[in-house]
Structure 1
Amino acid sequence: MTDRRDFIKTLSLAGTSLLLPSPFAAASINPEKTVPNYLSKYKDLYAKDPKAASLAWFNEAKYGLFMHYGLYSIWGRGAWVQLFEKTPVAEYRKLMNEFTARKFDADFITDLALESGMKYVNITTKHHDGFCLFKSAQTDYTSVHAAAKRDLVGELNAACQKKGLGLFLYYSVAADWHHPYFPAKTAGWQYFRPDYAQPQPEYRYKTEKDAERYTAYVKAQLRELVTQYDPAGIWFDPVRGLYARPDLFPMEEFYREIRSLSPHALVSFKQGATGTEDFAAPERKAASLADQIQSDFGAESAALAKRVWEAHHSKHNETCSTLQRGAWSYEPEDNDKRRHLGVQEVMDLLADAKSRNMNLLLNTGPLPEGDIHQGDAETLRKVGKLIG
């Protein structure tokens, strides 16, 4: 395992180094350079430079729909409920039997995005709990093996392709509370694992060498996501986990894998992991995390956070926010802290993003069965009419 100090120094040079060919990459998914539907306006540029076409599209897209949906939606207590309530792995897994996604309607979602003036959609293919909304040969912890028996990402992808919307795929890389070989809390971040009173038999991580098994899992799933769905891009999270131990998450390898498979796929990781991302995608205030990282993980990690954030200053970036205050996934609206935003508040978010040369990725948390909150849908449609 590479020394952590040396690894952080290596990352500091990543923004100026050449990306080497991936030794494990498969052939490109689009060798004929067939233009994706959402890039049809940029077909001439795409023929010359697919990545340039994607960036030109993204710069003009301005506005996208974000969705946090998973097992946690059933309980309605937040996407981090397994960690905060220390729910045993086996007990949390039983939620698969209740995950029907009966009202998840990709046509409704994509129509709503279009009516709202949005140009792309982003969905949590795998959040921190490790549950996947897509077909994967790497695990049975998926919506395909749950009560739903559906590939929700596949359905959304088909609808996006049909209607000319770009599809970004959110992927939690630096947190996975289900995978047996994901690093333990002792590896450097308190949120790597829930703080269970008793050891979980499902967890088998013992040494940092074991993390290589998780790395192989991520590489395989990224290949699946890119080759099965040909997305507009992969959107990584959580960046604090990355800053805690950047040596455990070989992001440049992951980026090379994605780019070797798809010449037009964009890559993002919140404030940035290496500085070589195509755009930054911070939450809400869109600020550097360096000061917080200094307090949490020390000077070296803080220096990395500062360098990669500064590497994105000249790029057209994105900020993400949510329609329900303080909640990314569905929670009951039982007090003002959880109320849903109104039309003017969304207009203010759009104006703020525009003033900072950023896109706005606006999140709604689908309800337990997968339908969209009625109030959010109404607000989005009204905003769509205002922005034309």
Structure 2
Amino acid sequence: MLFIVSIFIFVGVLETVTPYLTRKTSVFGVSIPEPYVQHQQLQIFKKHYSMLVGSIAAAFLFGQILLLFTSIQEERFVLLSFILLYVMLLLSAALYMTYHIKTKKLKKQENWEAHVKTVYVMDLSIRDRDEVLSPTFFTLPIIITLALITFTYMNYNAIPDVFATHWNAAGEVDGWTEKTWISVIVMPLILLGIQISSFIMSFGMKNAKIQLSAQAKEASANRELAQRKYGSWYLAAMNYNMTILLVVLHYTTVILKNQTAPYFFPIFIVFMIVTLGGLTLFIWKLSKSNERFDDLHTNETASADDRYWKWGIVYINKNDPSLLVQKKHGVGWTVNMANKWSYIILLVIFLPILLVIFI
């Protein structure tokens, strides 16, 4: 239960500081010409957004702490906790859209684009400094999961007719599933979908375009390289972390028939530490490499791509071969919805889940 509280704290802090982690030339999903990145009104928007989101996060955290002192059942506690978390994120999203609209209106009213010179910035030599992990690094987890599925079917007759699929905080079984040809490999199937998606995303990171600033070229290059490097490392860490977690759980409960899995909870704690700790480290590394525009010497700015973004969130550009592009709000990557591989990623992620629901 205390772990859920820590998630509230982490998410709340992340949402609060997001405007200061994003590239300086992108504010609430709107491309800002470089001579205007220090515009006073933009700084006010960021400050107000952070104060409002921080206040909302604090209020919901207080509500979550109050739940700890109630006598409700664990299942209801978890359900209410995630409802609170999702409502908090919805309110944060609503505030984002509000300031997205305000920023677009400010940019249009002051006609910033008419007072700057748009240039295209390229440097092919930057690719030589790229340290994104090779996609082959993501093949081992796939091989392990395929071997696990094969081994499971080889031992199908020895699997109990009913096996454990859910545990409470004390490590006691509180959920069971009947054996079928699909149910015995549900967990490996979901894991395989995640692994294949990670494999495709590693290609996307490797081939994604590198966006450079006109007046902070080297600083923007450093930020791009840092995001690509540490982003691929975090993706790999999550991939292997998830593989260890689900393979151990599946092999213990389905193959070894150990329904209690007393060591699963400690493994889950390690998984969450790696997940949240890795994300924290990634954000810290990225924030250290962000561009600075303290010394603007011309009215030049790199070309913007706002016309390809919907609400500053969804990227659709059929002329861009990139599968992944940097988010315009926050840190990390999003898919190019005009690239057919983006739908393949979504398919391999959700197909196993749909099979579980409808079969």
Report the TM-score, using the length of structure 1 for normalisation: 0.27
Give 1 or 2: higher helix fraction: 2
Report the TM-score, using the length of structure 2 for normalisation: 0.28
- Greater relative contact order (CA < 8 Å, ≥ 6 in sequence): 2
Query: Larger radius of gyration, structure 1 or 2?
Result: 2
